[in-house]
């Protein structure tokens, strides 16, 4: 493994080291696997759905969610067909299905409405907020996926199991994790504060023009000042931190207001990836994570608005993924191959050998809460720089710039 630091003249806090990942293909398994409900593509109607870039999928999902109202029951991105699949709980209302098709997406009839799924998550919050558990809506199965780590045993397991059963058939399912849910924070080397090690997320600009960066909230509450070397002089001070509760994010401003803080992720070997905007996650979106412990890892979004019950407290509003991470990766950036900021590493279970579940703080929520911007001005107008293909060209045929048959070859410091 070769190690490289960003030069101090750039004044960007570095992580553990550059890790090259050759031909790390960012691919999803069949997004249609293990799903309940009827995909109208099976009957031919979905075959006319437009191909959509992965970057533009969240914008299309948000638009249809607003238009469908109570008929909307979740959505996901099918990476094989490059189409957005929208769950419709309309009880046979053809108008809602027609709206989905007219927008260029695939309509899929399901039993559980979004209102019913939200009500069920409320029951879980009330009756099963147990350390070591997590849940998120899985639109591919039209159910709530409840995960329990290895600490959930005995009476706690019985409580969880009975609560899930009380929701009714087909509303939720339980899976066991091989690890233990915890924030990915530990002592070591990268950005340092109070004897803890974390990872820098994204450089930002605050409302008054001060340069700073985002990291995990549990890092922000662990120490007030952070340095780029262990036992080094502080270079940044925490201005705001949320953890636990409604998120896991912190804003750190550079102590020197003249610090150059470019909006980019260092990919190693002299390469950088510009981060031009913040975007929203969508289930099925292919993402890349950078961390100071494990370098790069890739995978996909598996759930939104997730709640995870750490031993330190419950955190809600997170993105759930199958991307691996390990202690020390906390706060590191989650992004797309075309340079859209998506999230900040919070925690999860497992490691990058056995895999596991990992949770991320949405960047858009963190930016809004602390009043900061990424790049030239926060969230992109089109939800990530892409556009829905209108059938007149090839603009929508790719699932994300920088991802090809040979994958994405990157490594990084943040």
Instruction: List residues with catalytic annotation.
Output: 218, 248, 330
Provide CB contacts within 8 A for 95, sequence distance 6+. Answer: none
Is residue 64 a contact partner of residue 100, using CB atoms and an 8 Å limit? Answer: yes
Question: What Cα–Cα distance (Å) separates residue 324 from each residue in 55, 122, 247, 290, 379?
Answer: 22, 28, 20, 10, 26
Is residue 110 a contact partner of residue 97, using CB atoms and an 8 Å limit? Answer: no
Count of beta carbons in the 10 Å neighbourhood of residue 50: 18
Is residue 191 a contact partner of residue 215, using CB atoms and an 8 Å limit? Answer: yes
Q: Is the Cα torsion angle 140, 55, 81, 66 positive or negative in sign?
A: positive
Instruction: State the Cα–Cα distance between residues 395 and 391, nearest whole angstrom.
Output: 9
Vertex 205 angle, CA 202 and 210, to 5°: 125
Question: DSSP string spanning 305-351?
Answer: EEEEEETTEEEEEEEEE-----TT-TT-EEE-TTSEEEEEEEEESSB
Provide CB contacts within 8 A for 167, sequence distance 6+. Answer: 120, 123, 124, 144
Is residue 296 a contact partner of residue 288, using CB atoms and an 8 Å limit? Answer: yes
- Reported as half-sphere exposure (CB side, CA atoms, 13 A), residue 19 has a value of 16
Query: Dihedral (C-alpha) 36, 41, 44, 46: value to the nearest 10 degrees?
Result: 140
Measure CA 3 to chain center: 27
């Amino acid at each position: 493994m070769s190690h490289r630091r960003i030069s101090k003249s750039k004044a960007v806090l570095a992580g553990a080291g550059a890790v090259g990942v050759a031909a790390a293909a960012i691919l999803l398994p069949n997004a249609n696997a293990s799903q309940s409900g009827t995909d109208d593509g099976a009957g031919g109607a979905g075959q006319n759905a437009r191909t959509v870039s992965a970057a533009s999928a969240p914008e299309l999902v948000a638009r249809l969610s607003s238009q469908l109202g109570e008929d909307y029951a979740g959505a996901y991105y099918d990476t094989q067909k490059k189409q957005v699949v929208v769950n419709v709980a309309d009880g046979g209302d053809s108008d809602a299905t027609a709206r989905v098709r007219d927008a260029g997406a695939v309509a899929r009839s399901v039993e559980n409405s979004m209102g019913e799924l939200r009500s069920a998550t409320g029951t879980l919050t009330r009756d099963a907020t147990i350390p070591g558990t997590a849940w998120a809506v899985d639109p591919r199965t039209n159910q709530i996926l409840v995960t329990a780590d290895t600490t959930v045993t005995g009476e706690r397991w019985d409580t969880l199991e009975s609560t899930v059963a009380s929701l009714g058939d087909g509303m939720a399912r339980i899976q066991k994790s091989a690890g233990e849910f915890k924030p990915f924070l530990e002592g070591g080397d990268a950005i340092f504060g109070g004897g803890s090690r974390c990872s820098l997320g994204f450089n930002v600009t605050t409302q008054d023009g001060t340069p700073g960066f985002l990291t995990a909230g549990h890092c922000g509450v662990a120490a007030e000042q952070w340095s780029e070397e262990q036992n080094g002089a502080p270079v940044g001070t925490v201005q705001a931190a949320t953890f636990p509760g409604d998120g896991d994010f912190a804003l750190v401003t550079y102590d020197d207001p003249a610090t150059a803080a470019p909006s980019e992720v260092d990919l190693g070997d002299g390469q950088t990836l510009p981060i031009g905007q913040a975007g929203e996650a969508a289930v099925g979106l292919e993402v890349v994570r950078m961390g100071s412990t494990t370098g790069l890892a890739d995978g996909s979004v598996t759930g939104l608005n997730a709640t995870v019950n750490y031993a330190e407290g419950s955190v809600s509003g997170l993105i759930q993924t199958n991307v691996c991470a390990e202690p020390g990766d906390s706060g590191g950036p989650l992004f797309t191959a075309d340079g859209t900021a998506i999230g900040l590493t919070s925690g999860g279970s497992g490691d990058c050998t056995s895999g596991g579940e990992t949770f991320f703080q949405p960047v858009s929520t963190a930016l809004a809460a602390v009043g900061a911007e990424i790049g030239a001005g926060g969230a992109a107008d089109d939800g990530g720089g892409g556009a829905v293909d209108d059938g007149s060209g090839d603009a929508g045929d790719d699932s994300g710039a920088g991802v090809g048959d040979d994958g994405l070859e990157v490594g990084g410091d943040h």
